[in-house]
Structures are given as structure tokens and as C-alpha cells.
Amino acid sequence: MNMYDIIAARRTIRQFKQDKISEEILRKLVNGGRLAPSASNLQPLEFFIADDPGLRKKIFPCLKWAAYIAPKGNPEPGREPVAYIFPLVNIKVRKTGYEYDVGAAMENMILAAWAVGIASCWLLSLDRDRLRIVLDVPANYVIDSVLALGYPDEESKIENFSGSVKYWKDSQGLFHVPKRSLEEVMHYNRFTS
């Protein structure tokens, strides 16, 4: 699959098989995040990998999933992520504007994961205070978000946008995600409405 095909095929997944992701793959994902663009090349990001089963059990209750359809969109018991990667922002390096670095790093990791058949869900709704304790993260680091990872155990498909961005899950468990069309979002050589 070429890079465009990987981008086009990638979907957010919230139900995972319980097959372990190798440390080698997790290290490659973090390296992909490390190599992402960084504003002024300050590189304020560090990455925390959590794949230990005991640690994962402590992390899971700190996360909020699929707000539009919660709790139906939450990973079911036995279908939780098998690994997490947290981008940590060292605020001694950069206090503001790091969100761009995080976005670039996360997308690199998401696409690198999908290229080897690993699904992901990028979560921003976190109990950061509780996670700071669980992960033992020092005060000078911001826990920005988390990338939940695992081999997919559900399917998700794009639907034509029809006025609502709200995704849904059908009776067979298939996620449907509305996306605006290319024609609606692209302005070519002039702005059109």
C-alpha cells in the first residue's frame, strides 16, 4: 500500500484484539513521532509507552471514548487497547504552541501503525491529574493526549456528510463516520462558496 492508500484506509478504531504489539513496533512508532516536524525544531516532546497489563488497567479508567455514543463506543471488556503512547510535552523546552508538534507526531504514529495493520484511537479526553499519578510523570511535563493501539476488532466506514458530524454504530457494530466531500472543503485557485 502506498502512503495515500494508507491515509485513505485509516479509520479510528475502539475495539481491539488482545494480540500483543511487539516492542520493536512500538519503538518504531515512537521514532516516527520523534521524526515529525517541530516548530523552531525545539522538539519538546517525549513519549511514554505503556503496554504492561497492570499499568493498562490503571490507565483505562482515566480515558473517555466516543462521546457522541458513549458508552456504546467504549471498548468492551476483553477488547481494550493493548498499548498506549502518551506524547509528553516538556514545558521547560516549550510552554505554548506545542499542540502543532503533538499533532504532527501523532499523525506520523497513527499512519505508521496502520501501515503494519495496527489500529488506533487518538484520545484528548483524559483525567490528566490521575494519569500523572498513574504514570509518575513529573510536574514539568504536560500529558497532552494518548494514542490507544491494538489490532482492529471492529470496522469503520466513511459516510457522506449529510449535515451532521456525529458518528454512529449500527446494530452489527459497524462504525459510520460522516466526512465532508472533497468538493465541499477544497478551494482551487479561488475561494468558492
How many domains is the chain partitioned into structurally?
2
Q: How many CB atoms lie within 10 A of CB 61?
A: 10
Sequence-ordered list of residues with C-beta below 8 angstroms from that of 188, at least 6 positions apart, any chain? none
- The CATH number for 188's domain is 2.20.180.10
Same domain, 128 and 139: yes
Q: What's the domain range around 187?
A: 155-193
The per-residue pLDDT for range 17-58, each reduced to its tens digit, is 999 999 999 999 999 999 999 999 999 999 999 999 999 999
Residues 165 and 70 in one domain: no
pLDDT in tens, 102-138: 999 999 999 999 999 999 999 999 999 999 999 999 9
Whether the model clears a pTM of 0.85, i.e. scores above it, the answer is yes
3-class secondary structure, 176: strand
**Same domain for 88 and 166?**
no
